[in-house]
Amino acid sequence: MKAKKLGILLLSALAAMGCDDNTGTLGLDMLPTSDELSAHVTTFDVVTRSVKAENIYSKTDIGYIGKFTDPDFGYYESSFLSELNCTDHFVFPEVYHENESGTQGTGEIAKDSVTDIRLVLFYSSWFGDSLNACRMSAYELNDEWLEARTNAANYRYTDLDFSKYYDEKDLLGRKAYTAYDASIPDSLRNSTDSYGNPLYTPYVSFQLDNALGNRILQLNRAYERGENDYFDNADKFTNHIFKGVYIKNDYGDGTILYIDQVAMQLQFLLHVTDSDTGLKLKKKVTDDEGVAGSDSVYYGWQTFFASTKEIVQANRFANSEKIDEKLKETGWTYLKSPAGIFTEATLPYDEIYERLAGDTLNSVKLTFTNYNQKNDYDYAMSAPGNVLLVRKGKVKEFFEDNQLTDNITSYTVTHNNVSTNQYTFSNIARLVTTCINEKNAAKEAAGSSWDEAEWEAEHPDWDKVWLIPVTVTYDSSSSSAQIISIQNDLRPGYAKLQGGPETNADGEVKNPLKLEVTYTTFHDMKP
């Protein structure tokens, strides 16, 4: 028995087969008592090709800076911009003063002025050569950025034209560096607190003009007097005080820093005070007559404004033209991050429906196998650890809406780099049935006016999925390893995958992937 209607799930068959909820039925209406079921496995060809990831959605609190040239894919260069957060109703510490009786003191600043100011970029990891000589420049963002920041579409994609948002004349500083700072003694580099947490974090520091620090301080004192509202929140701080920074690589090839935080630190002359009374302390006796010395003061740095998850950060990635050469290779496909190459697969939905219209899909398995990758040169890229399989037409909304996989139109898997060297999607049956039912619903709605060629021309991506390198974040407080975020992978990586659109002399694809389908068939056993 084979019926034509879709969408009726056969629960008894699913239980017998031990299948999960990723199961669909193609065309089965009912199961007569005289039927007998049997399970089968068949395969369908899947054609793949490499597609250029020209601009990808990037929502991250990490800034990527540097340039790296790979022998196979050419160079890519990264730069980023970041605003600085200001806590609501922020005010600087008080200038020290005592009460009339001289028994209590409040405040800690000895002099109401900024003695120094710097911009510090903290990082905990990098890719490439740790001793490679590099240089970066920092610029303050301009007024055009204030207009662009009002619409996330203007800055969330990695092809952003940063040149519009800074001026060369607004250079804040320029600094040479290496990822591993050999001037830091091991005693400091390896120091930890009582819990074993590191006390040192690598950084690159830009010395800024003191005039900037004192301008910020005086505007804040005016805010305390009620003369402006510039420190009410982060948005007003950005619009009126400091628009943010653009960090650009301008020398060096071979290192990418992963910047965890951008911080503006100000230095003040501070009093040493008694912890109980708050009174400023005097230095020890300094002469033979026992006269106390001057006030005990010191210069102290504090971070007042820094990049956080709540404010805007944006990355730009520029790839060399060698990426385009890789796209022309047809005997395989590639994954290349960041913002390099995805793999597109065309799934044979029509053929599946034609052959299995009256059967139950128990599972549909799709595997991407990658070739062994070269490690015969320094700092070779590894295969992306996690990938997302998503319908091509759903890619934009998936990332922009910060979606998680639904195991219908989107799936994630982890690379098996130990035994199989594969990305294996063990059951995408719900994707297959969803897409087939989508087309059949359109056909039923159109009735006699149905034109399949016209519908497919209007929906050219209905049978296509993209394989995309991603980073997956889990809830560390949950014992079930629950996923809380899936974002485009912005770290360097690549995989060369079996497949590709290359054809033989007869026009047949040489190396299609195999879609493995397990299905249940019911046989009428009546004589």
Pair 255, 132: CB distance under 8 Å = yes
CA distance 99 to 107: 11
> Which pLDDT score is estimated for 15?
36
pLDDT of residue 152: 84
Give the whole-angstrom CA distance, residue 133 versus residue 251.
8
How far is 442 from 438, CA to CA, in rounded Å?
A: 6
Ranges of H-type helices in 360-428: 395-400
Angstrom CA distances, 206 to 117, 172, 264, 276, stand at: 9, 8, 10, 37
Close Cβ partners of 313 (under 8 Å, ≥ 6 residues apart): 60, 61, 62, 63, 80, 81, 82, 83, 307
The token pair at 117 is: 């100011």
Whole-structure pTM value? 0.87
Chunk the chain into consecutive blocks of 10 residues (it has 527) and report each block's average pLDDT, rounded to whole numbers: 36 38 48 66 97 91 95 94 97 92 89 97 96 97 94 87 93 96 92 91 96 98 97 97 96 96 97 89 70 83 94 93 95 96 98 92 95 79 96 96 96 89 96 96 95 96 97 83 93 96 93 95 62
* Per-residue pLDDT, 260: 96
Instruction: Find out whether 176 and 275 touch, Cβ atoms under 8 Å.
Output: no
So what's the pLDDT on residue 12? 34
Partnered with residue 198 across adjacent β-strands are 192
Q: State the Cα–Cα distance between residues 281 and 108, nearest whole angstrom.
A: 11
Q: Which of 236, 248, 56, 77 is nearest to 163 (CA)?
A: 248
Measured distance CA(329)–CA(25) in Å, rounded: 38
| Residue whose structure tokens are 């009126």 | 240
